[in-house]
Chain A
Amino acid sequence: MLKIENMTMRFGGVVAANKFNAHIKKGQIVGLIGPNGAGKTTIFNVVTGVYKPTEGKVIFNPGDKEHDITGMAPDEIAKLGVCRTFQNIRLFKDMTVLDNVFIGNHLRIKSNVFSSIIRVPSYRKEEREMLEKSLYLLDRVGLLEEKDEKAHSLPYGKQRRLEIARALATEPKLLLLDEPAAGMNPQESKELMDFILNIKDEFDLTVFLIEHHMDVVMGICEDILVLDHGELIAQGDPETIQKDQRVIEAYLGVD
Chain B
Amino acid sequence: MAEDRLKVEKERILDRNTLILLGVLLVAVVVVDFFANDHVRTIANLCGIYVTLGLSMQLINGFTGLFSLGHAGFMAIGAYTVAILTISPANKEMNYFLEPIVPFLADVEWSFLPALIMGGILAAIFGFLIGAPVLRLTDDYLAIATLGFAEIIRVVFTNTQSLTNGALGLKAIPKFSTILWSWIVAFLSIVFMVYLIRGSYGKAFIAIKEDEIAARSMGINLFKHKVMSFTFSSFMAGIAGGLMATHLGTIDPNMFRIALTFNIILIMVLGGIGNINGTVISAIIVTAFMEILRFLDSSIDLGFIKLPGIPGMRMVIFSIILMLVVIVRKDRLLKEN
Contact = CB atoms under 8 A, between A and B. Distances in A.
Interface of A: 48, 50, 73-75, 78-79, 83-84, 86, 90-95, 99, 102-109, 111, 113, 116-119, 123, 127-128, 130-132, 135-136, 139, 144, 166-167, 170
Contacts of B215: 92, 103
A103 B203 contact: yes
B220 interface: yes
B195 interface: yes
B200 A127 contact: yes
A102 B215 CA distance: 12
Contacts of A75: 216-222
A189 to B, nearest CB: 24
A136 B199 contact: no
Contacts of B196: 113, 116-117
Nearest to B232: A113
Given A50-B213, A92-B214, A117 B220 contact: no
Interface string B13-52: 1000000000000000000000000000000000000000
A4 B219 CA distance: 21
B283 interface: no
Contacts of A105: 200
Nearest to A78: B219
Interface stretch (B130-138, B204-212, B319-327): B204-212
A103 B217 contact: no
A83 B203 contact: no
A155 to B, nearest CB: 19
B15 to A, nearest CB: 14
Q: Which of A73, A103, A166 has the largest number of chain B CB atoms within 10 A?
A: A103
B218 A109 contact: no
Contact of A74 (B6, B203, B210, B217): B217
A135 B8 contact: yes
B192 interface: yes
B200 A90 contact: no
B201 A92 contact: no
Given A103-B220, A113-B228, A130-B200, A90 B213 contact: yes
10 contacts: A50-B217, A75-B221, A86-B213, A91-B211, A92-B210, A92-B214, A103-B204, A105-B200, A116-B196, A139-B6
A170 B210 contact: no
B200 A95 contact: no
If over half of A's interface residues share one DSSP class (helix, strand or loop), that class is named, otherwise mixed; here it is helix
B53 to A, nearest CB: 20
B306 interface: no
A132 B6 contact: yes
Contact of B218 (A106, A111, A131, A136): A106
Contact of A135 (B6, B195, B199, B207): B6
Q: Which of B2, B195, B207 has the largest number of chain A CB atoms within 10 A?
A: B207
A86 B214 contact: yes
Interface in B161-200: 192, 195-196, 199-200
Contacts of B206: 92, 94-95
Contact of B219 (A86, A99, A106): A106
A95 B214 contact: no
B211 A79 contact: no
B6 A166 contact: no
A123 B222 CA distance: 21
Contact of B216 (A74, A109, A132): A74
Nearest to A104: B218
Given A113-B201, A119-B13, A135-B8, A90 B219 contact: no
Nearest to B192: A117
Contacts of A128: 8
Contacts of A86: 213-214, 217
A16 to B, nearest CB: 18
Contact of A83 (B202, B204, B211, B218): B218
B219 A170 contact: yes
A42 B247 CA distance: 57
A166 to B, nearest CB: 7
A119 B216 contact: no
Closest 4 CB pairs of A and B: A107-B219, A78-B219, A116-B199, A90-B214
Q: Which of A50, A93, A113, A130 has the largest number of chain B CB atoms within 10 A?
A: A113
Q: Which of B2, B13, B192, B210 has the largest number of chain A CB atoms within 10 A?
A: B210
Contact of A78 (B195, B210, B218): B218
A86 B215 CA distance: 12
A119 B199 contact: yes
Q: Which of A83, A117, A131 has the largest number of chain B CB atoms within 10 A?
A: A117
A108 B220 CA distance: 10
A73 B221 CA distance: 9
Nearest to A166: B218
A106 B222 CA distance: 12
Contacts of A108: 219
Interface in B213-240: 213-222, 228
B200 A119 contact: no
Nearest to A80: B219
Nearest to A138: B6
Contacts of A73: 216, 221
Contacts of B220: 75, 103, 106-107
Nearest to B193: A117
